[in-house]
Amino acid sequence: MTNRIYVAASEVRLNDHIYNGTGTNAHPTFAWETVTDVRQEDGLILLITGNAKGPHGEFWLEPEERIEVMRYPEAVATETAAAKAKPKHGH
């Protein structure tokens, strides 16, 4: 499950999804792009989507500027997986 939230540009994380408008594709799902790099340059936040060395999108924002992102919950390692593992006895 994802969460659509508003954060300051300085709080955007790698793998967040940002909205890039509908562009040439009318389907709104394709308008969300994955952030692959976050940099601070000249007092601005640079968000890069796609391959940094190839075709990519760049978004320049003020650090305090609010932006909507889709963020997946971080995977939480639980001890229940370790508790479920049953040791095998070699008889």
- Residue 13 sits in a domain whose CATH number is 2.30.30.30
Does residue 86 lie within any of the structural domains? no
Does residue 88 lie within any of the structural domains? no
Does residue 84 lie within any of the structural domains? no
pLDDT at residue 90, rounded to an integer: 63
The burial class, CB within 10 Å (0-12 / 13-18 / 19+), for 45 is buried
Query: Amino acid letter at 83?
Result: A
Does residue 21 lie within any of the structural domains? yes
Does residue 85 lie within any of the structural domains? no
Give me the domain span that covers residue 15: 3-72
Q: How many domains does the chain have?
A: 1
Tell me the pairing of strands 3-8 and 66-71: antiparallel
Does residue 81 lie within any of the structural domains? no
Walking along the chain (91 residues) 10 residues at a time, the average pLDDT comes out as: 86 91 59 91 93 82 94 68 60 62
Query: Full-prediction pTM beyond 0.85?
Result: no
